[in-house]
Amino acid sequence: MLVNAKEMLDKAKAGNYAVGQFNINNLEWTKAVLLTAEEEKAPVILGVSEGAGKYMTGFDTVAAMVKAMDKSLGITVPVALHLDHGTYDGAKKCIEAGFTSIMFDGSSLPIEENIAKTKELVALAHKNGMSIEAEVGAIGGEEDGVIGMGECADPQECKKVADLGIDFLAAGIGNIHGVYPDNWKGLQFDVLAEIQKLTGTMPLVLHGGTGIPDDQIKKAIELGVSKINVNTECQLVFAAATREYIEAGKDKQGKGFDPRKLLLPGTEAIKAKVKEKIELFGSNGKA
Ligand code: 13P
């Protein structure tokens, strides 16, 4: 069932758990995430970055594939199709393509411009029945070629953006995309607590879910995080399982080269990773 992400995240905030956003890259990814969410009876968010959208030949293709697959697989749990780190133009394209949720990432803009554009997109998204996420304080690491330094958001700016009528807020608290370096200082919980104090019932979003130790994930949820984004970790397990299959020479046995066989271990590895995360976030059984 394709829905916007507001209700599932409001429930998560009230129930002290988090909904996973798993980024999708192709058919196998989408199928793996949908099937696992259904098995776990968990609400789920499919994240699509602009780069991944382009790779899949455009947002129209993605929306058509997700809607059709949701129906053909008989998925009953709430599923949101969400633009991840959208530009202003990308957000508008996803509204037209039939996504159910968008993120506008104006974190690299001066705060006044971020506010003006977010406000405009809030009106547009809500008019179309969609939920909208905004970002304050750039998330570090690399995503689609954009490199941030993992800054911490200014809690007062978070309050200003939260007051624009957005549905959930991504705030930098020292988190970064991709694998964390050995000298990473960990999440800045004092900043998170301050943001939570000022933004009240607003569901907060933790980007860069890959590699954050479980105890820090749990503490972040206690402090008001209701949506956690995971991308790189699924890519890593997919690659490792595919490598193992090929290195064992299985693609050369019988029809092991058939893509339906070749891509199966990677797909199963994504399913196992998504299950592990859903259970860690506590969203299993919450659909
Ligand atoms: P990771 O790739 O670090 O899991 O981050 C995902 C993310 O935050 C997508 O927006």
Report the C-alpha gap between 12 and 209 in whole angstroms: 17
pLDDT tens for each residue of 118-137: 999 999 999 999 999 999 98
Q: Is 45 a pocket residue for ligand 1 (Cβ < 6 Å)?
A: no
Whether 22 contacts 47, CB under 8 Å: yes
Are 158 and 172 in contact by the 8 Å Cβ rule? The answer is no
Q: Is the CB of 235 under 6 A from ligand 1?
A: no
- Cβ of residue 31 lying under 6 Å from some atom of ligand 1: no
How far apart CA 10 and CA 102 sit, in angstroms, is: 16
State which ligand 1 atom lies nearest to the alpha carbon of 235: 2
Tell me whether residue 195 is exposed, middle or buried, using C-beta atoms within 10 angstroms of its C-beta: 0 to 12, 13 to 18, 19 or more: buried
The pLDDT assigned to 108 comes to 87
pLDDT, the chain, mean: 95
Q: Is the pLDDT of residue 146 over 70?
A: no
The question of whether 258 is a catalytic residue gets the answer no
Atom of ligand 1 minimally distant from the CA of 232: 2
CB of 84 closer than 6 angstroms to any ligand 1 atom: yes
User: 101-136 as b/e, with b when 16 or more CB fall inside 10 Å?
Assistant: bbbbbbbeeeeeebbebbbebbebbbeeebbbbbbb
Q: Ligand 1 within 6 A of 233 CB?
A: yes
Which of 101, 139, 147, 177 has most ligand 1 atoms within 8 Å of its beta carbon, as the pocket-test mutant? 177
pLDDT tens for 260-280 read 999 999 999 999 999 999 999
Digit-coded pLDDT (tens) for 16-71? 999 999 999 999 999 999 999 999 999 999 999 999 999 999 999 999 999 999 99
Expressed in angstroms and rounded, the spacing between residue 175 Cα and the centre of ligand 1 is: 9
pLDDT of residue 234: 98
Which position among 10, 60, 84, 144 bears the catalytic label? Answer: 84
Q: What is the pTM of this model?
A: 0.96
Distance in angstroms (rounded) separating the CA atoms of residues 57 and 40: 30
Which sign does the torsion angle of CA 251, 242, 273, 144 carry? negative
**Where does the pLDDT of residue 148 fall: very low under 50, low under 70, confident under 90, or very high at 90 and above?**
low
* Residue located nearest, by CA, to atom 9 of ligand 1: 229
Given CA atoms 224, 212, 133, 140 in this order, what sign does their dihedral have? Answer: positive
User: Is pLDDT at 232 greater than 60 in this prediction?
Assistant: yes
- Cα angle 242-247-248, degrees, rounded to a multiple of 5: 100
Instruction: Give the strand pairing for 44-49 and 19-23.
Output: parallel
187 and 150 Cβ atoms separated by less than 8 Å: no
- Using CA atoms, how far apart are residues 66 and 79, in angstroms rounded to an integer? 10
Confirm or reject: Cβ of 38 under 6 Å from ligand 1: no
Instruction: State the helix-helix crossing angle for 155-162 and 189-199, rounded to 10 degrees.
Output: 30
